[in-house]
């Protein structure tokens, strides 16, 4: 072909291409409202205070509503439980209400198939069934519910009474029966007191995963970090004693890996040591004598042998604990080895011995979780359904078939023809699938209610959006079913108000409105007048810790543990929770089985290979994940996945470890058993790709996440105090070996950081603002709440398991997890987001200037300019840039959650953290309106807002008095891989570790 011809044809081609690109006017419509609600301004958010119902902790939330849609949930700063913070599960509330697999219309089962019916028809069916059943005699209508608020509980009881039946049974899979029983035996209170953890200086946990699921994780996260903060007088110390390292264990200063079920031995050893020091004065003499007798055999050596720990570790623990001014011993989480009850008993007794006044226990603000039925009572209830004449079972947001997966009798009970089962669930969970009728009720974000996670406070629930379905509130529905006329209240909202009035909490309407605006009333309720009284003696309770048969590597113990992401399984269908990897394994979507290298070596299974585990209850095939964070002889899997249906995100994802658990509860406490001895454990040798997001478990000496020893830090500080002008040893070293990995100085991303000797480009000018973030690694617990907040705020795509295996996850903020190469049990968490470098490697390599340096220091990524060369990602040393390989899907109505202030990126475009520039713009607008500059702390990115421990600080580096600027002067400040001369605007503060 001739050159001329080629040019002609090319010209024609481009004309026709240009012509075809001109599409017709998009048929966009602009709908006007019929009536304008008073609290809605298009383009501006309205915030509603409410209460999170994703777990029984009951954190206060503020729900952001834009044009009628709830798009984001943040913690309520006024709420005493969470103080404005929220966990990963709380952030995902909106994915429950907008879940594409939410059941939108009632379903009736006919010949094993679901048939949709109208709400009124379903209500009629249920009313008829209830009426017929109630006519037959007493206790013909029974109810199983999740933990609900006081108002709800009283109404349900009232309605069931009208139907001649007993009140509902409250089923919570994690109800901490052993803790409750131990509290009853030792303190005389069958409940769950709160802990004033922030006042302790030495904390010992016997496996309680209080940073993940235990009682109230957001609350205990901030309390723990208050206790663990670096203070002039020192730093609190935290020991975690458990056979596997949970996220909480990974945050401990010392993780003491005991054998499964032997935690009690350690505590008995500590009791002996304390008594020998003469502690426990003021306790009844008889009790002291009993304790002395019971703990007599627990010499340090014997204790260490029995618990399977190193005796030096035990002695270190004993010395530190007995030296402490305010020691606190927390109990167990789930029972991973049969020793939870003796351990909790011993822990309570040790608390008494160390501090007879129990000053760190808060018996006034007990956790509402104590109202859940014991597992044994739930099982009795389900058995009685078979035997009794019950005709109708109502199930409200409880999934016993999943939680009691190993108990085939539950399934039989629910499928029994004599019993009509109605589920009020919004999702096709394992229990709902067996029901005869599904009548979905409204979501907490669409309802009026009241739920207080602790005694002594009232926390209100109000609709934060219009209802997506005509589903009724469960209280309204129950009144419709139980009452013809003479309803106790016209609707459920009036019932809640009337109850609060009756209890003398809310006296007039203005009080109610004020409570709704605040999110509740936090000091209006008189606490229960119950005080602990130490027992006179505990004969018979303190049985010697049993020493099981010698360990058999072929028959390890298999334990199911609660998950920070899915709780007990109720979060399994939220795509963010599936997509954000587990903090410790960094595996998303899958449920691997964790074990020590020795455990897997015994069956010849390698990392990422399938193993088969069977117990007398069942069998599973799972991917082996080799880690040193589990004691040899133990296999651990987190619960929450492996649902039969539960929607597209939960289906075929992970495994339910509960199918391996023995169905019988513990005889002493009625607690469920979360461990079983493997009857069979074999490797298959079949590899299975793990959907993990970590490139490596160690840092390869690259100086990314750094630690500093407390003593060394103090020395540096003291030298600085004595002579501020004299450079510290470090700084002298810097001058000598500067610009090497070890000696590179901290260089702020400001014009004064410009050095012609090492900078190629001229400095950037900033007027007034240079945004920066300080990340305190000593406060970061790795909980990933920030990552979830980032997904919610910035419309980040969900890519799914297969794409994650290809390394294509989209998270703008990830928590990196690094193990110490020499001590793999030592873990450091490292939040990594765009470092907004002053000398950004992404900027000069882009052929179209899509990454652009703003005058406020941000590295703007201009989506519509990006042509997808991915050079920037290649050149970014932090690997924080994410490329849209596909057009990500938000199946309806999940797209309603998208933040209208942030572009939804399309295929072929690079994206990354923006420091939530949309929030910076809002602050700019407000400051301009008020003719002032943006105040310090006025801009709060989503990650900073939600961090339960306040590890993140955001602000303006140009302001020498801003908190970020002050923190950059901290002795611990450094920049991640600052030696590359990128001059990042994210400044990290080294994690402070204790010697040894």
Partner 1 sequence: MTALADQKNEPRKAGKNALLIFWMGLIFVFVAGFLIFFYIPPAADIGAAQPIAFSHRVHAGIKNIQCQFCHSYVGRSSFPGIPPVEKCLYCHKYVIANHPEIQKEHMYFNTKTPTPWKKVFYLPEHVFFNHQRHIKKDIACQECHGPVETMDRLKGKKFKMGFCITCHKARGANLDCWLACHN
Pick the closest to residue 829 from 819, 816, 820, 811 (CA basis): 816
In this structure, the number of other CB atoms found within 10 A of the CB of residue 805 comes to: 18
**46 versus 439: smaller Cβ distance to partner 1:** 46
Among 855, 879, 889, 907, binds partner 1 (CB under 8 A): 855
SS (H, E, C) 592-606: CEEECHHHHHCCCCC
HSE-up (13 A, CA, CB side) for residue 31: 4
**607 versus 924: smaller Cβ distance to partner 1:** 924
At its nearest, how many Å lie between partner 1 and the CB of residue 5? Answer: 8
Binding segment toward partner 1, per CB under 8 A, in 461-469, 567-575, 901-909, 934-942: 901-909
Contact between 357 and partner 1 by CB under 8 A: the answer reads no
Contact between 549 and partner 1 by CB under 8 A: the answer reads no
Q: Are 781 and 247 in contact (CB under 8 A)?
A: yes
Q: Are 68 and 44 in contact (CB under 8 A)?
A: no
3-class DSSP state for residue 692? strand
Contact between 923 and partner 1 by CB under 8 A: the answer reads no
Contact between 846 and partner 1 by CB under 8 A: the answer reads no
**657 versus 941: smaller Cβ distance to partner 1:** 941
Among 21, 32, 724, 762, binds partner 1 (CB under 8 A): 32
Task: Report the alpha-carbon distance of residue 237 to residue 302 in Å, rounded.
Answer: 25
Cβ neighbors of 219 (< 8 A, separation 6 or more) are 57, 59, 81, 82, 83, 194
Q: Are 778 and 828 in contact (CB under 8 A)?
A: no
**64 versus 443: smaller Cβ distance to partner 1:** 64
| DSSP single-letter state for residue 746 | P
**30 versus 549: smaller Cβ distance to partner 1:** 30
Task: Report the alpha-carbon distance of residue 511 to residue 491 in Å, rounded.
Answer: 20
- Which stretch of DSSP H or E encloses residue 396? strand 392-396
Measure CA 376 to chain center.
27
Binding segment toward partner 1, per CB under 8 A, in 34-42, 267-275, 305-313, 523-531: 34-42
At its nearest, how many Å lie between partner 1 and the CB of residue 92? Answer: 24
**3 versus 995: smaller Cβ distance to partner 1:** 3
Among 854, 869, 875, 970, binds partner 1 (CB under 8 A): 854
Among 21, 34, 357, 387, binds partner 1 (CB under 8 A): 34
- Which stretch of DSSP H or E encloses residue 575? helix 575-579
Among 14, 42, 619, 652, binds partner 1 (CB under 8 A): 42
Among 16, 120, 138, 415, binds partner 1 (CB under 8 A): 16
At its nearest, how many Å lie between partner 1 and the CB of residue 468? Answer: 17
- Which stretch of DSSP H or E encloses residue 478? helix 474-482
At its nearest, how many Å lie between partner 1 and the CB of residue 915? Answer: 9
| DSSP single-letter state for residue 115 | E
Q: Two tokens at 10? A: 């090319």
SS (H, E, C) 651-679: ECCCCCHHHHCCCCCCCCCCCCCCEEECC
Contact between 13 and partner 1 by CB under 8 A: the answer reads no
Contact between 30 and partner 1 by CB under 8 A: the answer reads yes
Q: Two tokens at 754? A: 């410009």
Task: Report the alpha-carbon distance of residue 703 to residue 975 in Å, rounded.
Answer: 10
- How big is the CA angle at 174 (ends 173 and 176), to the nearest 5 degrees? 135
Binding segment toward partner 1, per CB under 8 A, in 39-47, 221-229, 341-349, 549-557: 39-47
Pick the closest to residue 791 from 84, 88, 16, 66 (CA basis): 88
Among 486, 510, 523, 864, binds partner 1 (CB under 8 A): 864
- Which stretch of DSSP H or E encloses residue 793? helix 785-794
At its nearest, how many Å lie between partner 1 and the CB of residue 866? Answer: 11
Task: Report the alpha-carbon distance of residue 944 to residue 193 in Å, rounded.
Answer: 30
Contact between 7 and partner 1 by CB under 8 A: the answer reads no
Contact between 889 and partner 1 by CB under 8 A: the answer reads no
Contact between 796 and partner 1 by CB under 8 A: the answer reads no
String marking each residue 707-746 x if it binds partner 1 according to CB under 8 A: ----------------------------------------
Binding segment toward partner 1, per CB under 8 A, in 37-45, 408-416, 627-635, 749-757: 37-45
Pick the closest to residue 71 from 981, 972, 913, 904 (CA basis): 904
Pick the closest to residue 636 from 653, 616, 617, 611 (CA basis): 611
At its nearest, how many Å lie between partner 1 and the CB of residue 469? Answer: 18
Number of residues that bind partner 1 (CB under 8 A): 46
Among 105, 299, 903, 970, binds partner 1 (CB under 8 A): 903
At its nearest, how many Å lie between partner 1 and the CB of residue 928? Answer: 7
Task: Report the alpha-carbon distance of residue 446 to residue 75 in Å, rounded.
Answer: 18
Contact between 921 and partner 1 by CB under 8 A: the answer reads yes
DSSP character string of 919-952: HHHHHHHHHHHTTSPPPTT----HHHHH-TT--E
Query: Which residues is 800 bridged to in the sheet?
Result: none
Contact between 927 and partner 1 by CB under 8 A: the answer reads no
Task: Report the alpha-carbon distance of residue 941 to residue 789 in Å, rounded.
Answer: 9
**26 versus 510: smaller Cβ distance to partner 1:** 26
At its nearest, how many Å lie between partner 1 and the CB of residue 817? Answer: 30
Query: Which residues is 827 bridged to in the sheet?
Result: 819
3-class DSSP state for residue 126? helix
Task: Report the alpha-carbon distance of residue 833 to residue 815 in Å, rounded.
Answer: 9
Contact between 862 and partner 1 by CB under 8 A: the answer reads yes
Among 17, 19, 723, 752, binds partner 1 (CB under 8 A): 19
HSE-up (13 A, CA, CB side) for residue 533: 4
Among 35, 736, 752, 930, binds partner 1 (CB under 8 A): 35
Binding segment toward partner 1, per CB under 8 A, in 278-286, 451-459, 672-680, 915-923: 915-923
**904 versus 977: smaller Cβ distance to partner 1:** 904
Contact between 22 and partner 1 by CB under 8 A: the answer reads yes
Among 7, 10, 36, 848, binds partner 1 (CB under 8 A): 36
Among 49, 858, 939, 958, binds partner 1 (CB under 8 A): 858
Among 7, 10, 12, 867, binds partner 1 (CB under 8 A): 12
Backbone angles phi, psi at 133, to 5 degrees: -65, -45
**46 versus 230: smaller Cβ distance to partner 1:** 46
Among 144, 237, 349, 920, binds partner 1 (CB under 8 A): 920
At its nearest, how many Å lie between partner 1 and the CB of residue 445? Answer: 23
Contact between 931 and partner 1 by CB under 8 A: the answer reads no
Among 233, 417, 752, 929, binds partner 1 (CB under 8 A): 929
In this structure, the number of other CB atoms found within 10 A of the CB of residue 738 comes to: 14
Query: Which residues is 450 bridged to in the sheet?
Result: 460
Contact between 28 and partner 1 by CB under 8 A: the answer reads yes
Contact between 41 and partner 1 by CB under 8 A: the answer reads yes
At its nearest, how many Å lie between partner 1 and the CB of residue 35? Answer: 5
**209 versus 856: smaller Cβ distance to partner 1:** 856
Q: Are 469 and 424 in contact (CB under 8 A)?
A: no
DSSP character string of 499-510: HHHHTTS--SHH
Among 33, 547, 554, 867, binds partner 1 (CB under 8 A): 33
Q: Are 190 and 183 in contact (CB under 8 A)?
A: yes
- Most distant CA atoms of the chain, gap in Å: 109
Contact between 44 and partner 1 by CB under 8 A: the answer reads yes
Binding residues (CB under 8 A) for partner 1: these are: 1-2, 8, 12, 15-16, 19, 22, 24, 26-36, 41-44, 852, 854-856, 858, 860, 862-864, 901-904, 914, 917-918, 920-921, 924-925, 928-929
């Amino acid at each position: 072909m001739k050159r001329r011809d080629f040019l002609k044809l090319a010209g024609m081609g481009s004309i026709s291409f240009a012509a075809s690109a001109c599409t017709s006017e998009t048929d966009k419509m602009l709908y006007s409202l019929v009536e304008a609600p008073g609290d809605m301004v298009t383009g501006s958010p309205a915030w509603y205070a409410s209460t999170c119902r994703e777990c029984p902790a009951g954190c206060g939330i503020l729900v952001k509503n834009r044009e009628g849609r709830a798009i984001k949930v943040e913690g309520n700063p006024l709420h005493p439980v969470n103080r404005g913070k929220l966990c990963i599960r709380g952030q995902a509330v909106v994915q429950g209400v907008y879940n594409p697999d939410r059941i939108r219309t009632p379903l009736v089962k006919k010949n094993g198939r679901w048939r949709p019916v109208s709400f009124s028809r379903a209500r009629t069916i249920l009313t008829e069934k209830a009426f017929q059943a109630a006519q037959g005699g007493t206790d013909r209508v029974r109810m199983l519910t999740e933990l609900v608020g006081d108002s709800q509980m009283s109404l349900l009881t009232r309605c069931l009474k009208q139907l001649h039946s007993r009140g509902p049974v409250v089923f919570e899979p994690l109800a901490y029966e052993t803790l409750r029983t131990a509290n009853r035996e030792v303190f005389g209170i069958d409940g769950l007191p709160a802990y004033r953890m922030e006042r302790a200086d030495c904390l010992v946990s016997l496996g309680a995963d209080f940073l993940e699921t235990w009682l109230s994780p957001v609350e205990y996260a901030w309390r723990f970090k208050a206790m663990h903060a670096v203070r002039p007088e020192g730093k609190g110390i935290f020991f975690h004693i458990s056979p596997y390292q949970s996220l909480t264990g990974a945050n401990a200063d010392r993780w003491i890996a005991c054998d499964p079920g032997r935690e009690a031995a350690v505590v008995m050893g500590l009791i002996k040591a304390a008594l020998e020091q003469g502690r426990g004065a003021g306790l009844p003499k008889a009790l002291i004598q009993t304790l002395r007798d019971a703990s007599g055999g627990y010499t340090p050596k014997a204790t260490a042998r029995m618990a399977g720990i190193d005796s030096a570790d035990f002695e270190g623990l004993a010395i530190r604990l007995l030296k402490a001014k305010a020691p606190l011993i927390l109990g167990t989480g789930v029972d991973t080895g049969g020793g939870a009850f003796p351990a909790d008993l011993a822990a309570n007794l040790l608390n008494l011995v160390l501090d007879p006044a129990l000053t760190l226990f808060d018996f006034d603000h007990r956790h509402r979780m104590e109202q859940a039925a014991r597992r044994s009572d739930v099982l009795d209830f389900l058995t009685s359904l078979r035997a009794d004449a019950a005709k109708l079972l109502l199930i409200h947001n409880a999934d016993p078939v999943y939680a009691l997966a190993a108990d085939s009798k539950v399934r039989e009970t629910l499928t029994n023809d004599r019993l009509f089962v109605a589920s009020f669930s919004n999702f096709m969970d394992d229990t709902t699938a067996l029901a005869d009728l599904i009548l979905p009720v409204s979501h907490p974000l669409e309802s009026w209610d009241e739920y207080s996670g602790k005694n002594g406070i009232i926390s209100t629930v109000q609709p934060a959006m219009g209802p997506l379905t005509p589903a009724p509130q469960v209280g309204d529905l129950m009144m419709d079913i139980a009452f013809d006329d003479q309803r106790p209240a016209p609707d459920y909202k009036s019932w809640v108000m009337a109850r609060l009035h009756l209890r003398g909490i809310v006296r007039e309407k203005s009080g109610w409105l004020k409570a709704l605006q605040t999110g509740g009333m936090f000091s209006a309720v008189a606490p229960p007048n119950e005080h602990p009284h130490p027992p006179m003696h505990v004969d018979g309770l303190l049985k010697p810790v049993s020493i099981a048969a010698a360990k058999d590597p072929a028959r390890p113990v298999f334990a199911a543990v609660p998950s920070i992401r899915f709780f007990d399984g109720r979060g399994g269908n939220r795509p963010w929770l599936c997509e954000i990897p587990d903090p410790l394994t960094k595996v998303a979507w899958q449920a691997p089985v964790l074990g020590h290298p020795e455990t897997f070596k015994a069956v010849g299974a390698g990392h990422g290979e399938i193993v088969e585990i069977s117990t007398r209850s069942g069998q599973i095939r799972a991917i082996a994940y080799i880690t040193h964070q589990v004691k040899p002889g133990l296999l651990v899997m987190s619960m929450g996945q492996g649902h039969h249906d539960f929607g597209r995100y939960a289906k075929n994802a992970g495994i339910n470890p509960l199918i391996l658990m023995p169905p019988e509860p513990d005889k002493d406490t009625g607690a469920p058993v979360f461990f079983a001895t493997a009857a069979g454990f074999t490797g298959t040798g079949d590899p299975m790709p793990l959907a993990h997001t970590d490139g490596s478990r160690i840092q390869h000496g690259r100086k990314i996440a750094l630690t500093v020893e407390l003593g060394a830090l103090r020395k540096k500080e003291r030298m600085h105090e004595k002579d501020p002008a004299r450079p510290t040893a470090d700084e002298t070293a810097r001058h000598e070996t500067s610009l090497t990995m070890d000696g590179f100085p901290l260089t702020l991303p400001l014009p004064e950081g410009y050095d012609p000797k090492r900078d190629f480009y001229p400095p950037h000018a900033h007027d007034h603002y240079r945004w920066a973030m300080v990340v305190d690694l000593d406060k970061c617990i790795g909980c990933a709440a920030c990552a979830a907040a980032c997904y919610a705020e910035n419309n980040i795509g969900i890519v799914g398991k297969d794409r994650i295996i290809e390394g294509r996850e989209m998270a703008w903020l990830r928590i990196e997890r690094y193990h110490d190469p020499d001590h793999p049990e030592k873990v450091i968490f490292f939040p990594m987001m765009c470092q907004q470098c002053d000398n950004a490697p992404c900027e000069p390599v882009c052929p179209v200037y899509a990454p652009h340096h703003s005058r406020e220091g941000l590295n703007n990524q201009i989506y519509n300019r990006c042509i997808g060369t991915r050079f920037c990602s290649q050149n970014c040393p932090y690997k924080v840039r994410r490329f849209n390989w596909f057009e990500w899907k938000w199946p309806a109505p999940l797209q309603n959650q998208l933040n209208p202030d942030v572009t939804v990126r399309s295929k072929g475009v690079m994206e990354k953290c923006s420091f939530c520039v949309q929030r910076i713009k809002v602050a700019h607008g407000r400051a301009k309106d008020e003719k002032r500059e943006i105040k310090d702390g006025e801009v709060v990115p989503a990650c900073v807002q939600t961090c339960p421990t306040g590890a993140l600080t955001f602000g303006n580096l140009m302001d020498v008095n801003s908190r970020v600027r002050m923190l950059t002067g901290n002795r611990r400040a450094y920049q991640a891989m600052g030696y590359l001369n990128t001059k990042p605007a994210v400044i990290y503060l080294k994690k402070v570790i204790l010697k040894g």
